Amino acid sequence: MSDTYRFPVDAPFHLHLRSGRGTVHVVAEELTEATVDIAGRDSNQVRVGLSGDGRVLTVDVSRYRRLGSPPRLDITVRIPSGSTVELGTASASVTTRGALAKADVKTASGEVSVEQVDGDCHADAASGDIALGTIGGAARLRSASGDLRVARVGGRCSAKSASGAIDIGWAGDLVSAASVSGAVTVRDAARGQVVCKSTSGNVAVGVRKGTLVWLDLATVSGRTTSGLSPDQAPSGSEETLTVKVQTVSGNITISPSGANAAAA
């Protein structure tokens, strides 16, 4: 079974969605009509509605859960570019495409993939992997055992995982990354502060050429290596960066941006 809902829109709005099992796809694009496509055995049991002022679209599966496992549903929502989203699932995977203004995603065991958010993005998972593309504001990622990855973040970035790996591409502000046994990689840090902690995982940080960097590195039994050259930050450099790394048995590698891809 499948059901489709259509709503005329003339501006970005807020999407509030809750689901259990299956998939959730959110597509942000230029359009004048928002659509909600639901496929699955209990597709007609989902509450879908647009608020009276046309600013909040609600897709709610959780209120119709039967005893036992929730129904498996594949949900695709097309919304205007620049909208905000608040998404929550049990085991359903979440994927967003297009530019969002703000995103808040929570899942227990589903995987999360967010392409672009111009503002802040928060993503939490118990065991699922989280992958973020371009984040213009702050990014916060948390997962117990899943891997965490951010391609580009303009604001502050916080990433925490117990056993998953953490991989941050370009970072434009403060980075705080912590993992117990997973590797931590910051590929291109240009300014601000990078703080990384890991017990047994290796830590690798790439420093942008032309940045004046201060290093504070500490490990109990791991090996510390720096590949920075004396001309890494030429005289008169305006960008400054502080790198603080702590490990117990993990190795620490500091290198020019682009050279640390295999270090972790």
Which two three-digit tokens encode residue 148?
């965490």
CB 250 within 8 A of CB 202: yes
Measured CA to CA, the distance from residue 243 to residue 191 in angstroms comes to: 10
How many structural domains are present in the chain?
Answer: 1
Does residue 228 sit within a domain? no
Residue 159 included in any domain: yes
In a domain, 264, yes or no: no
What is the CB-side half-sphere exposure of residue 27 using CA atoms within 13 A?
A: 12
How many C-beta atoms surround the C-beta of residue 182 within 10 A? Answer: 27
pLDDT single digits (tens) 247-261: 999 999 999 996 544
Query: Which range has the worst mean pLDDT, 66-75, 112-121, 232-241?
Result: 232-241
Render pLDDT for 145-156 as a digit per residue (tens, 0 to 9): 999 999 999 999
Range of the domain at 14: 2-175+183-188
Is residue 233 in a domain? no
The reported pLDDT for the residue numbered 63 is 57
Q: What is the pLDDT of residues 166-208, one digit of tens each?
A: 999 999 899 999 999 999 999 999 889 999 999 999 999 999 8
- Structural domain contains residue 101: yes
**What does the pLDDT average to over 15-37?**
96
**Residue 17's pLDDT band (cuts 50, 70, 90):** very high
Residue-level pLDDT at 194: 97
Q: What angle is formed at CA 66 by the lines to CA 64 and CA 71, rounded to 5 degrees?
A: 75
**How confident is the model at residue 235, as a pLDDT?**
53
Per-residue pLDDT band for 237 (boundaries 50, 70, 90) equals low
Q: What is the pLDDT of residue 263?
A: 38
- In this structure, are residues 33 and 50 in contact, taking their beta carbons and an 8 Å threshold? no
Mean of pLDDT values over 7-30: 96
What pLDDT was estimated at residue 62? Answer: 65
More confident residue, 236 or 39: 39
pLDDT for the residue numbered 41: 85
Residue 136 in domain: yes
Gyration radius from the chain CA atoms: 21
CB-facing half-sphere around the CA of 209: CA atoms within 13 A: 8
Q: pTM of the prediction?
A: 0.91
User: In which band, very low, low, confident or very high, does the pLDDT at 68 lie, cut at 50, 70 and 90?
Assistant: low
pLDDT tens profile 72-103: 999 999 999 999 999 999 999 999 999 999 99
Predicted local distance difference test score (pLDDT) of residue 66: 53
